[in-house]
Amino acid sequence: MFGKPIKLFKIFGFAIRIDPSWGIVAGLVTWQFATLALPAWAPGLSAATYWLVGVVAALGYFLSVVLHELSHSLVARRYGLEMRGITLFIFGGVAEMPGEPPTAQAELLVAAAGPAASFGIALACGVGYAAATAAGLPAPVGAVCGLLGGLNAMLALFNLVPAFPLDGGRMLRAVLWGWSGNLRRATRIASTIGAGFGLLLVGLGLISTVRGSWSGLWLVLVGFFVRNAAQASYQQLLLRRTLEGEPVSRFMQTDPVTVPRAISVLDLVQGYIYRYHFKMFPVVDDGGRLLGCVTTRQVRELPREEWDRQTVGALAERCGSENTVRADTDAMQALATMSRTGASRLMVVEGDRLALKDLLRFFSLKMELEEAG
């Protein structure tokens, strides 16, 4: 992702967002259609016509990817899975599903819905091409239908590769899960295949680039993305299995580092930020009661000449739901808050007292012990 996704619209209750990186794909699709595919398919037209039709074709591809991901989302909803929306980015689109399917059958059907939709679009475009040709419609009409049909067929076939987290990899995981009854083992196998497939794409891309085809660089990027996504997906599953159902109180530090409100921002930087390397510190009064928090972002925004004159208490912000949780909060809910806000730490508030928590350190230690076992 290249930045904060932009919300475009909602359909069937799902928010459709677009990442700024999608602009690269839109530009490449438009350029390829306008300068390569359309002139070969329908020669003799003006350059303006080619570019106009190229833009239309790019919009058609955008709609195709949305429908692919929307199919996943609708089937997931059928099985009661939470869906946060659909985001389009440089490598296609993703239906944001924070949890795991309840059964192997649900996983299989949710995963299969996307390629099925892409094949359906490809078939519809093929029928459109045949109808446009039979009716004698202008050549660009048939060309767009034919090209979009081929593009959707390739999209479906690529997603059917049994390499997690592609749809085919999720279908493989569902089969392994149903056969063994062990979701973690099935995910590990499918993720390993996915990581290997990513390396294969990187290798093919490098060979293609050495032979003079710059399109090989795209294969390299896709390969790295697939490999990293496969490894991250397995880690996320382990994280959910480790933390789910555990209260935050299990991970609290009972002696957190706090900052007195009366010290200067300069003392905060030299005595706390450079010493402990945290990005957020709780601010307390003389009695140890929590007053708020101060972050490195606030320090950066304060002119340096003010650091020795401004107190931490004056700079601190009030605590809120973005940076505090209760001790009985589910650990996964706390982790979701950290992921959504980008916070590296959360304050666990117990009345007007607090204890900091560090989920990732606990996760790393527990997984090291469990993997060793």
DSSP 77-139: HHTT----EEEEETTEEEEE--S--SSHHHHHHHHHHHHHHHHHHHHHHHHHHHHHHHHT--H
Cβ atoms of 324 and 347 within 8 Å: the answer is yes
Cβ atoms of 248 and 201 within 8 Å: the answer is no
Quote the longest CA-to-CA distance of the chain.
85
Secondary-structure breakdown of the chain: helix, strand, coil percentages, each rounded to the nearest 5: 60, 15, 25
371 is catalytic: no
Cβ atoms of 111 and 175 within 8 Å: the answer is no
Write b or e for each residue in 222-261: b if 16 or more Cβ atoms lie within 10 A of its Cβ, otherwise e. bbebbbebbbebbeebbbeebbeeebbeebbeeebebbbb
Q: How far is CA 322 from the centre of its chain?
A: 20
Residue 214 sits at φ, ψ, to 5 deg, of: -70, -15
**CA atoms within 13 A of residue 340's CA, in its CB half-sphere:** 12
- Give the catalytic positions in this structure: 69
